[in-house]
Amino acid sequence: MNEQIINNLYELWEQIGKLTNRLSKTENYSAVSMDGSDWPNRVFNLKNNTDILEEVIQLSQKGKLPQIITIPKANDLRTNPNFEFVFGQKNMALDLTTYTNELSTNPNIKQVKTKQDSVEFAKTASESFGYRVDFNVIHKMALDSETIRLFIYQENKESLGCGIIFFDSHHNAGLHMIGTLSKGRGKGIGRSMTEKLLLEAKENNRNHCVLHASLMGESIYRKLGFKSYNEIETYKILNKQ
C-alpha cells in the first residue's frame, strides 16, 4: 500500500508537468521545473543510486533541475552535506471498500472551473501553505476534470479553504492540498473539504483514498479511519559553498 500512496503523488506531479510542458523524465528520476511557482517545482521518483544522486545534485546546482527533492524516508540525505531537511509527511490510506461512515457535502464548497476560481484557489493555497502557487498551473489542472478536480470553500464570496482530488492509474484517489486560511480555522473547514473529497472518491468507485499528512495532522486523519504507513521527506539541494 505504501508504494501506491507514493505513486499517487508522483503521478499527480507528472500529470501537472505534462499539462504545463514542464516535465523532465528520465529512467532514473523525474522533475517538474516551474517558473513563478514553488509547487510542484521539484525532483522526484529518484532511483536509489549514488551516481544518480550526484548527477541530480550537480544539475540542480547548475540551475538545470529544481532545488527541491522529495524522496521516501529510507534515505541517507540527512547526513549528506549537500542537502537541508525541509519537512516530513506520513503516507496514509483509507480503504473505501469497507468505509461506512456517512459523508455530506458542505454547500460552501464549489469546484474550480473558471479562471477566477483558479485565482482564488491559488491565492488560498499560497497563504495556507506558505509558498507560491501559480494560478495558471491551477487553471490548467482545473481543465483536466477527468483525473484532477479542485475545490474551494467560500463564505460570502471569500475563499477560506481548498482541496484537490486526483484519480490515478491504480484506481486510487489521492487527497492533496487540503488547506485552510488562518481566519477560517476552527470552523471545521478542513474536515468538510476532506469529506467532500472522500465523497468524490466513493462516487467514482475508487478502492482507496491516499494522502500525505503533516506529522501534526496525522491524528486528524486517523480519526477519519486512515491508516499510517511509512513517510516521505522533502529536502533542499544546497548550492556549492
Decide the pairing of beta strands 172-180 and 208-214: parallel
pLDDT per residue over 1-32, tens digit each? 999 999 999 999 999 999 999 999 999 999 99
Give CA–CA dist 45/30, Å, rounded. 6
Residues 83 and 103 occupy one common structural domain: no
Q: Given a cut of 90, is residue 204 above it in pLDDT? A: yes
Task: State the DSSP H helix or E strand holding residue 140, giving kind and residue range, or none if neither.
Answer: helix 135-142
Residues 227 and 120 occupy one common structural domain: yes
Residue 226: what residue type? F
Instruction: Give the model's pLDDT for residue 48.
Output: 81
How many domains does the structure of the chain reveal? 2
Give CA–CA dist 182/202, Å, rounded. 30
Give CA–CA dist 90/135, Å, rounded. 27
Q: For residue 84, give Cα distances in angstroms to 67, 166, 202, 235.
A: 10, 29, 39, 5
C-alpha cell at 179: 488547506
C-alpha cell at 20: 504545463
Residues 84 and 122 occupy one common structural domain: no
Residues 103 and 209 occupy one common structural domain: yes
Percent of the chain with pLDDT strictly greater than 90: 86
Cis ω on the peptide bond leading into residue 40 (within 30° of 0)? yes
Tell me which residue has cell 544522486: 53
Residues 101 and 79 occupy one common structural domain: no
128 C-beta neighbours (distance < 10 Å), count:
21
Residues 117 and 144 occupy one common structural domain: yes
Residues 10 and 105 occupy one common structural domain: no
Give CA–CA dist 122/135, Å, rounded. 5
Confidence of residue 241 (pLDDT cuts 50, 70, 90): low
Residues 121 and 219 occupy one common structural domain: yes
Give CA–CA dist 51/134, Å, rounded. 33
Residues 170 and 113 occupy one common structural domain: yes
Kindly report the CATH number assigned to the domain that includes residue 124: 3.40.630.30
What's the domain range around 28? Answer: 2-88+232-237
Q: Phi and psi of 42, rounded to 5°?
A: -170, 165
Q: Are 80 and 238 in contact (CB under 8 A)?
A: no
Residues 17 and 112 occupy one common structural domain: no
Q: Are 16 and 144 in contact (CB under 8 A)?
A: no
Residues 164 and 207 occupy one common structural domain: yes
pLDDT per residue over 151-190, tens digit each? 999 999 999 999 999 999 999 999 999 999 999 888 999 9
Q: Given a cut of 70, is residue 119 above it in pLDDT? A: yes
Residues 138 and 66 occupy one common structural domain: no
Confidence of residue 202 (pLDDT cuts 50, 70, 90): very high
Pick from 168, 132, 234: nearest CA to 5: 168
Q: Which 3 state secondary structure label does DSSP give 183?
A: helix
